[in-house]
């Protein structure tokens, strides 16, 4: 499904059902709030996976999305905190260089860490989301 760019300037409510092999899924609703231009993080981002956390460690509520950019071998953190008047909502807060062709990401909110599978390098990157840097060298 492609959402027209003109509809991404403000939140919209959608319903989605998938038809595959003659079978139809149950409809699911979702809200598109805004598009985020990943080119501010890298010239050819090619986002490939995303994970979401409401807070890191014992910090205050401050939801983020962590997106892998396989085109630039990086991970970007996006502000998802819908505080009225926020100047950073929906923007890339930071990007971290990681291994080649990242394809999957998971977050441990309690530890404030993200683990990324780098399919091109055959490694995993462990990123400290609080400091915005790799916690250790890529794991083979």
The predicted model scores a pTM of 0.79
The pLDDT of residue 10:
62
| Spatial distance between the Cα atoms of 113 and 129, rounded to a whole number of angstroms | 5
Task: Give the per-residue pLDDT at 34.
Answer: 74
pLDDT band at 102 (very low <50, low <70, confident <90, very high): very high
44 closest CA partner among 69, 15, 24, 68: 69
Cα separation of the two ends of the chain:
36
Residue in 95, 93, 63 with CA at minimum distance from that of residue 76: 95
Express each pLDDT in 29-77 by its tens digit.
666 677 788 999 999 989 989 999 999 988 888 899 999 999 999 999 9
The per-residue pLDDT for 72 is 95
Determine the average pLDDT of the residues in 77-86. Answer: 86
Confidence tier at 84 by pLDDT (50, 70, 90): confident
Q: Which of 110, 100, 97 is nearest to 70 (CA)?
A: 100
In which residue are the tokens 């400091």 written?
131
The whole-angstrom separation of Cα 111 and Cα 2 is 35
* pLDDT above 70 (res 14): yes
Identity of the highest mean pLDDT range in 9-13, 30-34, 85-89, 109-113: 109-113
DSSP letter at 21 equals: T
Distance CA 34, CA 6 (A): 11
33: CB partners within 8 A, 6+ apart: 11, 82, 90
Please give the DSSP secondary-structure letter assigned to residue 139: B
């Amino acid at each position: 499904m492609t959402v027209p760019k003109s509809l991404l300037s403000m939140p919209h409510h959608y319903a989605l059902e998938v038809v595959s092999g003659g079978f139809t899924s149950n409809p699911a609703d979702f809200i598109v709030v805004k598009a985020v231009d990943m080119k501010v993080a890298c010239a050819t981002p090619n986002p490939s996976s995303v994970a979401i956390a409401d807070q890191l460690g014992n910090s205050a509520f401050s939801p983020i999305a962590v997106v892998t950019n396989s085109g630039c071998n990086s991970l970007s953190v996006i502000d998802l905190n819908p505080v009225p008047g926020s100047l950073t909502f929906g923007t890339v807060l930071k990007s971290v260089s990681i291994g080649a062709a990242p394809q999957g990401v998971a977050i441990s909110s309690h530890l404030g860490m993200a683990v990324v599978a780098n399919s091109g390098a055959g490694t995993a990157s462990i990123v400290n989301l609080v400091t915005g840097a790799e916690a250790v060298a890529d794991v083979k």
